[in-house]
C-alpha cells in the first residue's frame, strides 16, 4: 500500500481519535475485549497488498473488521472455557514465556554486540583509513576464484587429487565427494576471494597457483583440501566495490586483534571433552 493511500485511510480514524481525545480509539467491543485502531492497522499489515487495497473501500473495511470480531469471539469463548485452567495449557504457556525470555535475551545480546562494534567504529578503533585500504590493495592487488574438495583423510585426498589431475570433472567430483556442503552443491566453487579471505593454511598456495592448476592436498583445521584455481583478476582502488570489500576485510582483522586483547580479561575454557 502506498504512503498516500495509507494516509487517506488513516485520516478518518485519526480525526475520530482527536475528537474523542483518545490516543488509540476503540473500533469495536466483543464482550470485555476491544479492537483498537492500532490492532486493526497491525493486523492489516499482515495481509497481502491486494487485500489492503480492498480494505480501503467502505465494504472492505467493514469486512476486515468482521474478521477481527470473529477472532475476538473465538478468544472470548476460549477464555471462558476450561482450557485456561488445564495443566496442559499452563505448561505450554510457561514454555512460551521461557521461549520469549530467551528471544528477548538473545535479541538484546545481538543489539548490544552491534552497538558495541558501532561504537568501536565511531571511536576509530577498527575503522580503516583510506590510506590503509589503498596500501592493502597495492600489496594484494588480486582476487581469485577457486574450487575445492574437502575430504576427511590425506589418503582420500591423494586419491581424489590423482583423479582430478587425470582429467576427472572437478565440479562433479566436488558435488559427490566434498564434505563442505556449502560449496559442494556449486561444484566446490567459492565466491571470488581477496587475500585475507582465504583460509590461512591455503592462502599462500592459492595465490601462487596458475589458473587451471590443481593444488593440494593441503591440510587445514577442517580436513584435507584439493583445489583448482579457476580465475585471477586485478582489483583497483578506483573500484567502489573493491574498496568496500577491502575496508570490511581490514575492519575484521582489526576487530580480531582487538578481541585478542579483550580475551586477556575473559579467559576461554572449553569444558566439554568432545570439543577439546
Helix, strand counts (H, E) of the chain: 11, 6
The label of the residue with cell 488513516 reads: 10
Pick the CATH number of 132-234 from 3.40.50.300, 3.10.50.40, 3.30.830.10, 3.40.50.1220: 3.10.50.40
User: CA-CA distance, 41 to 225, in Å (whole number)?
Assistant: 54
The label of the residue with cell 570490511 reads: 248
Per-residue pLDDT of the chain (276 residues; tens, 9 = 90+): 454 444 444 444 444 444 455 688 999 999 999 999 999 999 888 888 888 888 888 888 888 899 999 999 999 999 999 999 999 999 999 999 999 999 999 999 999 999 999 999 999 899 999 999 999 999 999 999 999 999 999 999 999 999 999 999 999 999 999 999 999 999 999 999 999 999 999 999 999 999 999 998 999 999 999 999 999 999 999 999 999 999 999 999 999 999 988 888 888 888 888 776
Residue 200 near residue 188, CB atoms below 8 Å: no
Residue spans of the domains in the chain: they are 3-78, 132-234
| This prediction's pTM | 0.67
pLDDT for res 22: 60
Residue 215 near residue 157, CB atoms below 8 Å: no
Tell me the DSSP string of 257-272: HHHHHHTTTS-----S
CA-based nearest residue to 131, from 235, 234, 243, 241: 243
Amino acid at each position: 500500500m502506498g504512503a498516500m493511500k495509507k494516509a487517506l485511510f488513516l485520516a478518518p480514524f485519526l480525526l475520530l481519535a482527536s475528537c474523542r481525545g483518545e490516543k488509540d480509539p476503540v473500533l469495536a467491543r466483543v464482550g470485555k475485549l476491544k479492537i483498537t485502531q492500532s490492532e486493526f492497522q497491525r493486523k492489516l499489515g499482515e495481509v497481502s497488498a491486494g487485500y489492503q487495497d480492498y480494505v480501503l473501500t467502505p465494504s472492505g473495511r467493514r469486512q476486515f473488521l468482521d474478521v477481527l470480531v470473529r477472532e475476538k469471539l473465538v478468544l472470548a469463548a476460549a477464555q471462558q472455557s476450561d482450557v485456561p485452567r488445564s495443566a496442559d495449557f499452563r505448561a505450554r504457556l510457561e514454555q512460551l514465556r521461557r521461549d520469549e525470555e530467551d528471544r528477548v535475551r538473545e535479541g538484546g545480546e545481538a543489539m548490544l554486540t552491534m552497538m558495541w562494534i558501532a561504537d568501536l567504529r565511531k571511536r576509530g578503533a577498527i575503522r580503516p583509513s583510506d590510506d590503509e585500504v589503498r596500501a592493502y590493495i597495492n600489496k594484494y592487488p588480486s582476487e581469485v576464484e577457486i574450487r575445492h574438495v574437502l575430504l576427511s583423510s590425506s589418503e582420500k585426498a591423494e586419491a581424489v587429487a590423482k583423479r582430478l589431475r587425470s582429467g576427472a570433472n572437478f565440479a562433479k567430483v566436488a558435488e559427490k565427494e566434498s564434505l563442505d556442503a556449502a560449496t559442494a552443491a556449486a561444484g566446490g566453487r567459492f565466491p571470488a576471494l581477496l587475500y585475507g579471505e582465504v583460509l590461512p593454511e591455503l592462502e599462500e598456495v592459492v595465490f601462487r597457483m596458475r589458473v587451471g592448476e590443481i593444488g593440494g592436498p593441503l591440510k587445514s583445521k577442517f580436513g584435507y583440501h584439493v583445489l583448482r584455481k579457476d580465475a585471477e583478476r586485478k582489483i583497483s582502488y578506483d573500484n567502489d566495490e573493491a574498496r568496500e570489500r577491502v575496508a570490511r576485510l581490514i575492519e575484521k582483522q582489526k576487530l580480531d586483534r582487538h578481541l585478542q586483547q579483550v580475551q586477556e580479561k575473559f579467559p576461554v575454557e572449553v569444558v566439554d571433552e568432545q570439543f577439546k
